[in-house]
Structure 1
Amino acid sequence: MGRKRKGRAISGWVVIDKPAGITSTAVVGKVRWAFDAQKAGHAGTLDPDATGVLAVALGEATKTVPLIADALKAYRFRVQLGAATTTDDASGTVIATSGLRPDRAAIEAALAGFRGQIDQVPPQFSAVKVEGERAYDLAREGEAMDLAARPLWVDSLEITDHPAPDLLDLEMVCGKGGYVRSIARDLGQVLGCFGHVLSLRRIWSGPFDVEDGVTLERIEELARSNDIDALLLPLETALADLPELPATPEGALRLRNGNPGMVLTGGLDYGTQAWASFQGRALAIGQYRAGELHPTRVINPDPE
């Protein structure tokens, strides 16, 4: 007989408006403790100095994390032109400077090369693994790495303000795996003046918006109380971009056991990714095939 998990079998999403000065992992730990949850995870790391949306999944909601991790995300950030740093943000040591200050037209022209499908090299101080070790651990030891470029979809990248010759405010919507610090670094290189991130805020991630975010102070205030569950969003919130297929009673039973189950469909194409529900609650995520949902993830709406 397996060991019983400590904590409550509670499921759902909590949108945290992350403050600066704390890691994403530490935020997840605080949320898990506050809810006394058996299991928790997050959908997309924010740098310690970054703020904004950090979506934390509890319980069965952790099975929907990949959907949010793959979703588009939006960032607002300020770039300091004229200096490069070891970390590509303000926490690092300045390693190069330039007196050149490009005008608005030059910046607009350079930004065109950062939209659409691009290749991006992660920062030296990043969580990318190099021969089994994190790049930031190697960077702290003074090791310079030749990190491979990774594909990134940039849906939009626009100037929101240019308050000073050496300050540039941008808003970017991008796909999974994007490093805002790399955008600032590479933009500075293209402009010939160097650059790094001064401040960064994630304003939305998939269906989660910073305006709906909860502060850590509020989490700590309600920790382990009967009122904290009111901060939970339904697990199904993460499924908003997928078609919902109501299951028949017989189909629901089969899906709960991990087998293909009969669903009611509005004419989806064969192979479409969707989720099955029964009485309004998620049962499984999978592929629709000829009247059935073939599950890739089974969700237990009432875990023991």
Structure 2
Amino acid sequence: MDLEAVRTFTAVADAGQFQEAAADLSITQQAVSKRIAVLEKSLGVRLFTRTPRGAELTIDGQAFLPHARDLLRVAERAVASVRAGRRPLRVDVIASRGAQAGLMRGFHGAHPEIELDVLMLFEIEAAVTAIRSGAIDASFRAVGAPGRALPEDIESVRVLDEPLQLLTGPAHALADARSVTVAQLVGHRIWMPGIVPGTEWGAYYDALVAEYGLTIEATGPNFGSDALLDTIADTPALATFMGENTRLIWPAGHGLRRIPVTEPTPVYPHSLIWRRDSPHPALTALRDHLRSTQPDRLADGTWKPAWVEDSPDTRRT
């Protein structure tokens, strides 16, 4: 259905005259008459009758009018849903309980007036494709992984270096330690079923293993964080890594321990990526918020893969 014809129909119904509707729409009276005639032909009914006082709705016109207004409202909402500045800011995070989601919760708390759509895409390739197509506005990723250079039209800025912690059950050999060094982890089984080959976090842990000779196992299906916590609590031989800012809740009986890792402290580099020519005004507010609220990066005594430091796409604005 021709929405311009529907809009013309509602204008005539409101004005009561073709001439006045033409003035309101900034078109000729002939154009108004033509649009109404096309609409009446497509509907198979007469919508107006001409009278000395102007144009009056027929019974069919009266029946059609509320639906015509609904059509125009729906069309307006459809346009607004994709128009930058009027639709929500769409941001991709990897996990709902991770540091990236926490960054977005902080942004929402500081800017409740900005509408957000927070979604989760799996691979960085999918995130970049969605950013370039306009399906999303930004994504949090570890930038610089080998073979994953960002396209020229994608900008990035590192927003958080998150320290890793060791998570153990109460019977683990390191459970009572206040902190553990990376050297102390050699020979211990670190179970992380969420690591998927080919992902940027997979590349991160591959680099950690290669650097320090750790044993990280990604065997078995990934049943989610609850199943992981249950297994770690019940299996003295297993531990796992988690980010310092990861929000997890477990039953009190699990007795899990979160233990800082030192000498050096592995940090996971979270970057925000977006399209250079993104028109969404809220994206600037998000970048300003992240820049102003994040602590200075840890420097001495930390570790991250060499590809993080070497990446030409990792920079602050």
Give the TM bin, normalised by the shorter chain: under 0.3
Q: TM-score if structure 1 supplies the norm length?
A: 0.25
Which structure: greater helix fraction?
2
Pick the structure with greater CA Rg.
Answer: 2
Q: TM-score if structure 2 supplies the norm length?
A: 0.25
